[in-house]
Amino acid sequence: MSESIDEDQQQQFKPSEKFLQELGALKYSNVNTEPSVTRMSIVRQFDPMTADHQTPNSNNRPSISIQSVNVSSPAFVQRNSINLNLQNPDPGNDNEIESSESNQSATLIHLNTPLRPINGDHLTEITNSSNKSNGCTNLKNSFLEPQNEQIIQMNEEIGNLELKSENLELLIGQLALINEEVIELAMKKINKIQKDLEKKDEAYDNLRSLVKEMDNRESQNRSKTQELISKLKEKEQECKNWKQQAEEAVESANQRVQNVSSTETVSLKAQIKVLEMRVNSLQSQIEQKNRENEELSNIVNELIATNKAT
């Protein structure tokens, strides 16, 4: 913005080519010019700040139409003071700015006055006024240069901030994309974990049902083993009873043998042999029963061991 204002000011105060040509012709011509056609009159002719742009010899030269500028117009004041209002100057510089503006307005009012024949005093006044105007422009430039530098620095800072904001927006977009990806991955992991938990729950339910079945089988096997043990005890008791009966029978037979005569001993011996044979057969039966009981007990123990192992 400051650069565009400076360009406008340069275009406004830049002399035209016709002005330079007439100024050169006036400088290098050998013809005696009229008193009213001087260097200052040419300046006034091409100065956009003056209200009257015509010289006394305007009939002999081509007319130059330059737009007049009213010094007191708000557009001119705003255009000349726009750089001063871009930043708030220091409070100590207010008086200097006011004095420069008053000098500028005085110089411009002086330039708006009608032309007079130039003499020595008037020439000194003109040179003084031109020096004042140059001093005002120098003062204005001295005030505007640091402000323009500050404006350029502020524009650079604004550009850097805009770049940083764009980078931040890009980073925010990238972070949003990364967050979306992280959320998607987390949701996928959560779904996988839920599926794994469901599978583990199913496996746990199956194992629990198997454990219950094994407990039921173990209880059934225990009841069967108890029944077998009770049966074995009954068989053992029966064997013992038979053994006692056989022994009693043998003793009674021996007593009878002793009591009877020799004739009867033969028959008794035969009976004894028969009884012995019976006893032997009973013993063999008892042994077989014991073997069967041992085999049954071994089978029961094996069943119990297998149930415990499973």
- pLDDT per residue over 119-151, tens digit each? 455 556 556 666 656 656 666 666 677 777 878
Average pLDDT over residues 279-293: 88
Q: Look at residues 170, 55, 188 and name the one whose alpha carbon lies nearest to residue 117.
A: 55
pLDDT of residue 15: 52
The pLDDT assigned to 143 comes to 65
Report which secondary-structure segment, H or E, holds 238. helix 120-259
The reported pLDDT for the residue numbered 92 is 44
Residue 166 confidence (pLDDT):
87
Identify which has the larger pLDDT, 96 or 63.
96
| Alpha carbon separation from 52 to 60, 66, 143, 306 (Å, rounded) | 18, 10, 30, 130
Ordered DSSP codes for 282-295: HHHHHHHHHHHHHH
Q: Tell me the mean pLDDT in the region 33-48.
A: 48
Q: Is pLDDT larger for residue 64 or for residue 273? A: 273
Cα 284 from Cα 291, distance rounded (Å): 10
Placement of tokens 């402000």 in the chain: 147
- Average confidence (pLDDT) over 264-288: 84
pLDDT at 160: 85
- Tokens encoding 116: 């007079």
- The pLDDT of 82-108, averaged and rounded, is 46
* Distance of alpha carbon 51 from alpha carbon 108, whole angstroms: 10
Query: How much is the pLDDT for 125?
Result: 58
Q: Is the dihedral of CA 277, 279, 283, 289 positive or negative?
A: positive
Per DSSP, helices labelled H in 29-93 are 39-46, 74-80
> Looking at per-residue confidence, does 277 or 258 come out higher?
277
For residue 3, the model assigns a pLDDT of: 47
Q: Which residue has the higher pLDDT, 265 or 24?
A: 265
More confident residue, 50 or 247: 247
What's the pLDDT tens digit per position in 217-245?
988 888 888 898 988 888 888 888 888 88
Cα Rg, the chain, nearest whole Å? 69
Contacts by 278-281, CB closer than 8 A, 24 or more apart: 278/246, 279/246, 279/250
Kindly tell me if the per-residue pLDDT of 275 is higher than 60. yes
- Closest Cα partner for 19 from 44, 36, 37? 44
Residues 6+ apart with CB under 8 A from 81: 101
Question: 110, 104, 84: which is closest to 13 by C-alpha?
Answer: 104
The answer to which of 6-20, 26-40, 136-150, 175-189 has the lowest mean pLDDT is: 26-40
pLDDT over 80 (residue 91)? no
Looking at residue 45, its pLDDT comes to: 52
The span from the CA of 255 to the CA of 259, in Å, is 6
Distances (CA, A) of 151 to 78, 84, 161: 18, 11, 15
Per-residue pLDDT of 206-216, as tens digits, reads 999 999 999 88
- The first and second tokens of residue 181, run together, are 């990806």
Task: Evaluate if residue 20 carries a pLDDT over 50.
Answer: yes
pLDDT-above-70 percentage for the chain: 52
Q: What is the pLDDT of residue 191?
A: 92
Q: Are 23 and 42 in contact (CB under 8 A)?
A: yes
Interacting residues of 23 by C-beta distance below 8 A, sequence separation 6+: 39, 42
Global pTM value? 0.27
190: confidence class by pLDDT, cuts 50, 70, 90:
very high
| pLDDT confidence band for 183 (50 / 70 / 90) | very high
Q: How far is CA 5 from the centre of its chain?
A: 44
Of 235, 242, 239, 238, which is closest to residue 295 (Cα–Cα)? 235
* Interval 182-207 mean pLDDT: 91
Does residue 22 register a pLDDT over 50? yes
